[in-house]
Amino acid sequence: MRKTKSTAVPVLLLALFSLVLTNPAPSRALVPTQARLPRRASRTPKTIPHLSILQRTPFLLEFPQAEIPNDQNVQNALIRWLKENAARIGNIKPQNLKVVYVHKVAGKSGISDMFYAYFKQEMRGSVVEESHLNFSIQIINDKPVVTSVAGDLFPDLSLPSEKELAQEDIQSKAMAAQIEAVKTLGEEPGADNGQSRPMGRSVRYLGDPQRNIESKFRVVEEIYFPDHDILVAVDVNTGDQFPSQDRAHAQEATEPSGNVSGWVNPAEDSGKDEDVKHLVKKPLKDLLVKTGLKDFAAAAGVATDENGDFQTGSDKAAPVEAGLQGKYGEVKNSNGENLKFTGKTEPGKVLKIEFNSAEAQEIPTAQTNGYYHAQNVLDYVVSQGVPKEPLVKKPLTINVNEPGSGNAWYSRWDHSINFLMSDEQFNNTALPDVINHEFGHNVDDSFGGIRNGGLSEAWGDILAMFITRQPVIGKFFFKANKNGIRNGTNTYKYKENDEVHKQGEAFMGFAWKLFVSLIKPLGLEQALAKTAALVVPVIVSNAADIPAAIDQVILRARQPDGSFQFLDQILAAAKVHGIRPVVPEVVALIPAAGISQRIAAWLSDWLKPWFGKFFSA
């Protein structure tokens, strides 16, 4: 559980009046305003023949009697179901469906445990990017009940049979496309412009009408150029190139040898008239401290605990070195040296390591903010039941004090979040809520990839609102005012083809209004806890778009008797944004007993008066 300050009064007043607030500042997307490349994320046009699957009538997932619901057993049961129900998925064989993940989300705030499973179609050993098959499974009385099956599959998909290009030709074409893309962006080739990384093959639906390149399914090899964050997909048969830039937006207690803390902007909004110069000292968790008595150069780092404490493992004086690098991420400063500490422990004393100071200088504050708030949002997401392992499979790079201003982004290929310097108009963008937002893209990407740009923008905003406990995104983005760039009180009507940040306002607005509507029946703290429990774990479902995500919120609200908690509030919050979900019929989640079970129950009731002692066990 994360610790909270006593902010109930100002936040409560803000929440109660938030529905009538407006945001006079124009919405500014956290993306560059110069020429852009297409995003990699694409959706197959509805005109392309495909099998669309949607089932909302719950059914029991068959399990061997001895098995308990866990990730592997649920996966095995789903594969058995797919074999037995091949006709429902276009007779696609289970061996042609890749298991992307099966994850349990532990229930909290009165919500049942759930499993979310995600499959993709495969052809010739490559994933069909536009395909998906999702299952939502609710655990009721220890039984797995499938509450939703949704997907888009391509049973009739065929691929070209012509000869593939040589690997050196593919690489050459990717390099040429990257050079042209850099020119399009108006950027200068960097020192590492030729460096590239292979990202593997996939089947994608690609074309470019402006270059008279036919739109069709293709086997492409993707090559990443980190210097400009450009990904080039090359058709392995025709050589056509498609550049993109996907910036989305029980141990015995002992005295510690040392403690690590840092001065940062606070995670939660106090409701007071504070600015970016207001800093608080916080422990830095999971930070790696290098220490060793013999071979210090080769010494491994020891991680700090939740209080920032660490142990050297010795009662002797030991050299210590630390920077803002942790178990799950590393801060890199683009304007000068990285913050670093060197010193040594002394027997009987606790070494105090403190990064930054209360004076709030821009360069060091961006670094401490980057480390602390990325760790804080990770802890928050995990506290909501989202599985941790996919989130920390690869360390995250947190680039701060980058040249430029007024922007921030997540790079899925470089696995980084990036924040820019201040200028006369903008503050440094390594701010708590902006860091929360960009980390939200990382969370979305960790569960099946970023399928929908608008939904991904909303996930970032929702995490920012729930952690800061107020509806303004980018409150300190501008120096002139605190209007921010988006607001959960918005009344935008959802349109699936609008700009992605605009689309995102629908789901983030839905989440905030749902929270506000639950304050009266539940109280502030329980309303926030209930809303988070309903909304945040939906990220694991990898919903196709914003309406589908709201559908998943409704499914999480389903109770064992088939009814839905707070359905009126959910529907009302969706309606504000022009979304009218189709509510599944009220069906009890455990199917009625069969005839043999009913006869046995009747006999038991009839015999109890005469043989009661035999039924008392």
Rounded to whole angstroms, how far apart are CA atoms 530 and 516? 11
pLDDT (tens digit per residue) in 420-476: 999 999 999 999 999 999 999 999 999 999 999 999 999 999 999 999 999 999 999
Residues 38-43, mean pLDDT to the nearest whole number: 61
Residue 431 to residue 373: CA distance in whole angstroms: 9
> Mean pLDDT over all residues of the chain?
85
Give the three-class secondary structure for 454. helix
DSSP per-residue string spanning 478-526: BSS-S--SEETT--PPP-TTS-HHHHHHHHHHHHHHHHHHHHHHH-HHH
Provide the H-helix boundaries in 536-594. Answer: 546-556, 567-576
**pLDDT tens digits, one per residue of 162-175:** 789 999 999 999 99
Q: Quick one: how far is CA 57 from the chain centroid? A: 28
pLDDT at 191 over 70: no
Q: Are strands 329-333 and 396-405 parallel, antiparallel or unpaired?
A: parallel
Report pLDDT digits (tens) over 516-545. 999 999 999 999 999 999 999 999 999 999
DSSP state at residue 389: G
Residue 592's pLDDT is: 43
Confidence class for position 267, pLDDT limits 50, 70, 90? confident
Which tokens belong to 221?
A: 């090899």
- Contact yes or no for 55/148 (Cβ under 8 A): yes
Spatial distance between the Cα atoms of 506 and 64, rounded to a whole number of angstroms: 42
Distance CA 535, CA 569 (A): 13
Q: Report residue 281 as tokens.
A: 């000292």
Dist CA 435 CA 545 (whole Å) = 23
Average pLDDT over residues 587-612: 48
Residues composing the chain: 617
* pLDDT higher than threshold 60 for residue 610: no
Look at 247 and 106; give whichever has higher pLDDT.
106
Cβ count near 358 (within 10 Å): 10
Number of Cβ within 10 Å of residue 26's Cβ equals 7
Query: Mind listing the pLDDT tens digit for each residue in 107-158?
Result: 888 899 999 999 999 998 899 998 999 999 999 888 899 999 999 999 998 8
* Bridge partners of residue 290, in order along the sequence: 301, 321
DSSP annotation of 471: S
Q: What is the β-pairing status of strands 351-355 and 258-264? A: parallel
Separation CA 429–CA 422 (nearest Å): 7
Q: Is the separation of the CB atoms in 231 and 129 below 8 Å?
A: no
Does residue 33 carry a pLDDT above 90? no
Q: What angle do CA 185, 187, 189 make, to 5 degrees?
A: 125
Q: Phi then psi for 494, rounded to 5 degrees? A: -65, 130
List of residues 6+ apart from 278 with CB closer than 8 A: 265, 266, 360
Q: Which two tokens stand for residue 441?
A: 């893209």
Of 504, 474, 475, which is closest to residue 492 (Cα–Cα)? 504
Q: Which of 2-16, 337-351, 360-374 has the lowest mean pLDDT?
A: 2-16
Q: How far is CA 586 from the centre of its chain?
A: 30
Q: Are 377 and 433 in contact (CB under 8 A)?
A: no
Distance CA 417, CA 331 (A): 10
**DSSP letter string, 417-442:** EEEEE--SSB--S--HHHHHHHHHHH
Tens digit of each residue's pLDDT (9 = 90 or more) over 234-251: 999 999 999 988 666 533
Residue 78 and residue 60: Cα distance in Å, rounded? Answer: 11
Residue 103 pLDDT greater than 60, yes or no: yes
Phi and psi (nearest 5°) for 262? -150, 155
Q: What is the mean pLDDT of residues 172-201?
A: 82
Question: Is pLDDT at 18 greater than 70 in this prediction?
Answer: no
Tokens of 153: 């599959």
Calpha distance 327→325 (Å, rounded):
7
User: Using an 8 Å Cβ cutoff, are 148 and 135 in contact?
Assistant: yes
CA atoms within 13 A on the CB side of 356: 29
Q: Which of 421, 468, 486 lies closest to 266 in space, CA to CA?
A: 468
CA distance to 289, 332, 361, 368, 370, per residue, from 337 (Å) = 18, 9, 14, 13, 15
Render 127-163 in DSSP notation, one character per residue: EETT-EEEEEEEEETTEEEEEEEEEEE-TT-----SP
Mapping DSSP onto H, E and C, the string for 270-307 reads CCCCCCCCCCEEEECCCEEEEECCCCHHHCCEEECCCC
pLDDT band at 48 (very low <50, low <70, confident <90, very high): confident
- The phi, psi pair for 33, rounded to 5°, reads -95, -10
Whether the CB-CB separation of 518 and 566 falls below 8 Å is answered with yes
Q: Is the pLDDT of residue 186 over 90?
A: no
User: In whole angstroms, what separates CA 32 from the centre of its chain?
Assistant: 22
pLDDT band at residue 596 under the 50/70/90 scheme? very low
d(CA 491, CA 576): 6
